[in-house]
């Protein structure tokens, strides 16, 4: 038996509880893992609270991230004792995820833990840091250089936003952070932001074209915010869009794209090909420092995850939440 958060939905309603589970309940897969750490992302919080239809099969163990040690493998790629990492692939939505002491997964979803990172550091980065790095790589591949001008990061106090600021700053970019929590300005500057703006300046309907302000942007907010970001990019600018915290709509015009040559680069971290994942994690191992991780991360235990999910959705959690599932 092992502990895990189990989400159930039936005639009695929708509920999430810390439960005793059996290995016999684990879903199909060719690799079994003792989970050391998972995380609590926005999607996990939605799943646990039921405030959005994230979970598509019941019962479900949430947790879109995990790192752990292989205890059984039917695939030659991984051996017992290997330290492996998972992000995405519908885990925590259609396949049991990381917020339990054991997981059984498909080997195709796993990559080895980067040698330069400990298990705890790897999960402290998690999907948020991995997504932020995918966004930075997209900007780089579209020719955005540190000398081109400031890069805007929306949702700056969230996990993706926090890591985006830290990564961009470490690579020499000037970073502007947009946040609804201006009281966190000092924290954002410690991460590397050179300027802070109120998210309200971007969250309402705006003009089809605005003053050219930013060379590029990383947006995890969507809706009017993304539309206004596009409208305010400099000629030839790129925005990497990876989230929808404000909404999934995009009330924009084609004006920034056809008059300023703006590029909208969509970033999917869930089904990303293996080579892209390995590239992103290799870069993270080179750029991320222990000091960055400490500044961005809060650690909780598995039995605190359900209460923390509510706090995350209420916007009272700064940065990343790492969940210690079992021993190091």
Reported as a single tens digit per residue, the pLDDT across 70-112 is 999 999 999 999 999 999 999 999 999 999 999 999 999 999 9
Quick check: is 112 in a domain?
yes
**Per-residue confidence at 327, pLDDT binned at 50, 70, 90?**
low
* Residue 313 confidence (pLDDT): 87
Residue 108 and residue 238 share a domain:
no
**Per-residue confidence at 296, pLDDT binned at 50, 70, 90?**
confident
Quick check: is 307 in a domain?
yes
Domain containing 95 — which CATH number? Answer: 3.90.180.10
The string of pLDDT tens digits covering residues 111-169 is 999 988 999 999 999 999 999 999 999 999 999 999 999 999 999 988 899 999 999 99
The pLDDT of residue 314 is above 70: yes
Residue 149 and residue 34 share a domain:
no
Quote the CA–CA distance of 184 and 186 in Å, as a whole number. 6
- Residue 225: asked if its preceding bond is cis (omega within 30°), the reply is no
* Residue 328 confidence (pLDDT): 52
Residue 47 and residue 25 share a domain:
yes
Domain final residue pick, 249, 266, 283: 266
Q: Which single residue is written with the structure tokens 């989230």?
A: 243
* Residue 245 confidence (pLDDT): 87
Residue 96 region, left (φ>0) first, then alpha (ψ -120 to 50), else beta?
beta
Residue 259 and residue 139 share a domain:
yes
Quote the CA–CA distance of 216 and 214 in Å, as a whole number. 5
Quick check: is 284 in a domain?
no
Quote the CA–CA distance of 195 and 168 in Å, as a whole number. 13
Domain containing 197 — which CATH number? Answer: 3.40.50.720
Domain final residue pick, 266, 282, 304: 266
Domain holding 89, by residue range, is 2-117+295-324
Residue 148 and residue 95 share a domain:
no
The pLDDT of residue 324 is above 60: yes
**Per-residue confidence at 306, pLDDT binned at 50, 70, 90?**
very high
The pLDDT of residue 233 is above 90: yes
Residue 141 and residue 109 share a domain:
no
> Mean pLDDT for the chain?
94
Quick check: is 286 in a domain?
no
How many domains does the chain divide into? 2
**Per-residue confidence at 178, pLDDT binned at 50, 70, 90?**
very high
Residue 260 and residue 131 share a domain:
yes
* Residue 297 confidence (pLDDT): 86
Quick check: is 38 in a domain?
yes
Residue 204: count of CB within 10 angstroms of its CB: 9
- Residue 299, strand partner residues: 322
* Residue 143 confidence (pLDDT): 97
Residue 131 and residue 106 share a domain:
no
Residue 164 and residue 227 share a domain:
yes
Quick check: is 276 in a domain?
no
Quick check: is 301 in a domain?
yes
Residue 313 and residue 241 share a domain:
no
The string of pLDDT tens digits covering residues 201-223 is 999 999 999 999 999 999 999 99
């Amino acid at each position: 038996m092992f502990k895990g958060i189990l989400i159930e939905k039936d005639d009695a309603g929708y509920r999430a509880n810390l439960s005793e589970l059996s290995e016999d309940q684990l879903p199909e897969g060719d690799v079994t893992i003792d989970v050391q750490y998972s995380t609590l992302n926005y999607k996990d919080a939605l799943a646990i609270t039921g405030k959005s239809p994230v979970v598509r099969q019941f019962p479900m163990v949430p947790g879109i991230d995990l790192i752990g040690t292989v205890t059984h493998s039917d695939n030659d790629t991984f051996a017992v004792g290997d330290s492996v990492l998972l992000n995405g692939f519908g885990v925590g939505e259609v396949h049991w995820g990381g917020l339990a002491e054991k997981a059984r997964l498909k080997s195709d979803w796993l990559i080895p833990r980067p040698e330069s990172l400990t298990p705890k550091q790897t999960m402290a980065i998690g999907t948020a840091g991995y997504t932020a790095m995918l966004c930075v790589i997209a900007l780089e591949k579209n020719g955005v250089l540190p000398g081109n001008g400031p890069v805007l990061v929306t949702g700056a106090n969230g996990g993706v936003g926090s890591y985006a600021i830290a990564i961009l700053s470490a690579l020499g970019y000037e970073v502007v952070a947009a946040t609804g929590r201006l009281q966190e300005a000092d924290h954002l500057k410690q991460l590397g932001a050179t300027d802070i703006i109120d998210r309200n300046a971007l969250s309402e309907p705006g003009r089809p074209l605005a003053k050219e302000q930013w060379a590029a942007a990383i947006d995890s907010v969507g809706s009017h915010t993304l539309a206004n970001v596009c409208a305010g990019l400099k000629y030839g600018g790129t925005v990497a869009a990876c989230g929808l915290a404000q909404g999934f709509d995009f009330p924009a015009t084609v004006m920034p794209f056809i008059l300023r040559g703006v590029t909208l680069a969509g970033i999917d971290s869930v089904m990303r090909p293996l080579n892209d994942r390995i590239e992103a994690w290799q870069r993270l191992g080179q750029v991320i420092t222990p000091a960055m991780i400490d500044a961005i991360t809060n650690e909780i235990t598995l039995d605190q995850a359900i209460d923390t999910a509510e706090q995350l959705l209420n916007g009272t959690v700064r940065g990343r939440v790492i969940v210690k599932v079992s021993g190091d």
